[in-house]
Amino acid sequence: MIHSYALNGYYIVIDVNSGSVHSMDRFAYDMVNRFEQMDREELIRTFTDSLYPNIPREEAEECYEDLCTLRDEGRLFTPDTYEDLADTMKQKSAGIIKALCLHVAHACNLNCSYCFASQGRFQGERALMSFETGKRALDFLVEHSGNRTNLEVDFFGGEPLLNFGVVKDLVRYARSIEKDVRKRFRFTLTTNGMDIDDEVIEFANKECTNVVLSLDGRKEIHDRFRKDYAGQGSFDRIVPKFQKLVKARGGKNYYIRGTFTHANPDFMKDIRVMKELGFTELSMEPVVCAPDDPCALTAEDREIVCREYEALALDMLESRREGKPYTFYHYMLDLKGGPCIYKRISGCGSGTEYMAVTPWGDLYPCHQFVGDEAFRLGDIWQGVTNHAVQEQFAGCNVYSRPECRDCWARLYCAGGCSANAFHATGSVQGIYAEGCELFKKRIECAIMLKLAEELGEPL
Amino acid sequence: MKHIQTVETRSLCESAKKGGCGECQTSCQSACKTSCGIANQQCEN
């Protein structure tokens, strides 16, 4: 299977199953798109007689042979031979857990109306995780990590800095056992910024491999949703704190993470504000909410968003030329050192190698299922006891979803987000079609950017 | 090739032989927390 598209003057061909990416001129692009429908003679005659009468036959033959060479080298029209690997990976990683989303606070000092977590409470009561529960969660992670060395813990909420003392104590505990258990903990922190101070900055910059800072862009957009309980917007209070934290981090290993909604599908205006504020590591995500929610993206919004994704890619190219580069999370593709085929077919690992832990120590498949009792997997003392639910997640891969089988982007998204699929279709084995549409546009833009970076101008 | 340029990419077929170590970052931990970013991950090995 190939996927071909034109963007920003590039004629791009992706060989889905090998991962190869080609930039072609219009002539080769037209030929590759007819390659499987016609035999050699018919194709060359069609090109030289009607489509490109000014191109000599010898050149058409040469182009055809080049396509044959790429096919024979396994870089075009490569067959999909990976389906059996899904079971192999499932068996290899059975019972292994390597990442936890630690809900250290089911409480928040903001009252964001679009919050998927019901203002941090996850449909339940306010709560803070105790050190004892957090310590047990870390021990649980180590006990179930098998031969994995890299263990990941994200401090999440709610607002995790409402429980900063426990966060610090947990990191201190993890560092104290790392050597003995032969593991490497990687901590990340997701925060709204309200409680950032010098101590938090020093801690985050010493201990966190990444910090995610919530900022929606334009002040009026940000403050529309991200208010405190007195109804006051938070923009003016958090921006200076984010700037101070980022400067102290040397401008690396963070993401300014915004949400776009029905109020701002034209999110490039928000990206520009982030740039003007001095931020260079950026991420903007579509809102997660019910389709009938007033802030949900409409079909018209998604068309705007797709145009914005293209505008973003062009702006990134222009900024790079001007010596002011910035990054966008979803455009950070590593074509040479990206994930292996096992990762690409098996997905994010939610419910199997990745779980969320509530302040009470309950286990859920990921942070987006917390609060839905039907998805409770067990707890950090007894382990996973709801094997039926875990089996649903273990069975998620690109071959378990019929819609993914014919999709060119399946080895970039690995079947997509189970939580989004569940909320859209009622099944973790479903797909979130609207999300797929945006994802595919992002990948097309990201690959165009990589081509421009690697090859320069289009052919 | 006059009409075609190919970018160097990791061969997914080759990665089937020795991949699957499971050490790479869990995608949802990295930035978005709401939309899967497998493609944005890097291989540890």
- Residue A369 covered by a domain: no
Q: Which of B7, B9, B36 sits opposite A413 (nearest CB)?
A: B36
Asked whether residue A142 falls in the same domain as residue A22, the answer is no
Cis? peptide before A158, omega within 30° of 0? yes
Three-class DSSP category at A5:
strand
Decide if A86 contacts A397 (C-beta within 8 A). yes
Indicate whether B37 pLDDT > 80.
Answer: no
**Chain A hits for B17, Cβ within 8 Å:** none
- The verdict on residue A13 lying in a domain is yes
Per-residue pLDDT at A346: 84
Residue-level pLDDT, tens digit, chain A, 459 residues: 999 999 999 999 999 999 999 999 989 999 999 999 899 889 998 999 999 998 998 899 989 989 999 999 998 999 999 988 887 777 778 899 989 999 999 999 999 988 888 777 787 877 999 998 999 999 999 999 998 899 989 999 999 999 999 999 999 899 999 989 989 898 999 999 999 999 999 999 999 998 999 999 999 999 988 999 999 899 999 999 999 999 999 998 898 989 999 999 999 999 989 999 999 999 998 887 888 889 899 998 999 999 999 999 999 998 988 998 999 988 988 898 899 998 898 888 999 989 999 998 999 999 889 999 899 999 999 899 999 999 889 998 889 888 898 899 999 988 888 998 998 889 998 988 989 989 999 999 999 998 998 899 887
Q: Would you state the structure tokens that stand for residue A32, as one six-digit string?
A: 């590759």
Question: What span, in angstroms and rounded, lies between the C-alpha atoms of A404 and A397?
Answer: 9
Mutation to test the A interface, candidates B1, B12, B18, B41, most A Cβ within 10 Å: B12
CB contact under 8 A, B31 and A341: no
Residue B41 predicted with pLDDT over 70? yes
Partner A contacted by B17 (CB < 8 A):
no
Tell me which of A46, A79, A112 is where a domain ends.
A79
In a domain, A412, yes or no: no
Domain final residue pick, A265, A298, A331: A331
Phi, psi of A245, rounded to the nearest 5 degrees: -65, -45
Q: Distance (Å) from the C-alpha of residue B27 to the closest C-alpha of chain A? A: 6
Residues of A in contact with B27 (CB under 8 A): 348
User: What pLDDT is attached to residue B29?
Assistant: 63
Contacts of A85 in chain B (CB under 8 A): 16, 20
A16 part of a folded domain: yes
- Whether residues A49 and A192 fall in one domain: no
- How many domains is chain A built from? 2
Residue A390 resides in a domain: no
Instruction: Please indicate, yes or no, whether residues A152 and A282 belong to a single structural domain of this protein.
Output: yes
Residue B28 C-alpha, separation from nearest chain A C-alpha, in angstroms: 7
DSSP label at A314?
H
A78 and B20: CB-CB below 8 Å?
no
Cα A363 to chain centroid distance, Å, stands at 22
Q: Which residue in this structure is represented by tokens 């031979």?
A: A81
Nearest CA in chain B to A447: B7
- pLDDT for the residue numbered B33: 65
Quick one: A58 and A108 in the same domain? no
Which chain B residues are closer than 8 Å to A103 by Cβ? none
Say which CATH number the domain at A150 has.
3.20.20.70
Paired residues of A22 in beta bridges: A13, B6
Q: In chain A, what residues touch B16 (CB-CB under 8 Å)?
A: 81-82, 85, 340-342
Confidence grade of residue B31 (pLDDT, cut at 50, 70, 90): low
| DSSP H helical ranges for A182-298 | 198-207, 219-225, 235-248, 268-276
All residues of chain A having their beta carbon less than 8 Å from the beta carbon of residue B28 are 101, 348, 350, 354, 366-367, 417
- Please state the separation of Cα A458 from the chain's center in Å: 28
Q: Is the residue at A69 inside a domain?
A: yes
Average confidence (pLDDT) over B27-40: 68
Let me know if residue A149 belongs to a domain.
yes
The token pair that represents B32 in the structure block: 């978005």
Residue A364 lies in a domain: no
Do A114 and A213 lie in one domain? The reply is yes
Closest residue of A to B19, CA-based?
A340
The pLDDT score that the predictor gives to residue B40 is 77
Q: What's the domain range around A124?
A: 95-331
Cα–Cα distance measured from residue A243 to residue A48, given in angstroms and rounded to the nearest whole number: 60
pLDDT at residue B24, as a whole number: 86
pLDDT, position A398: 86
Structural domain ending residue among the three candidates A269, A301, A331:
A331
Same domain flag for A105 and A45: no
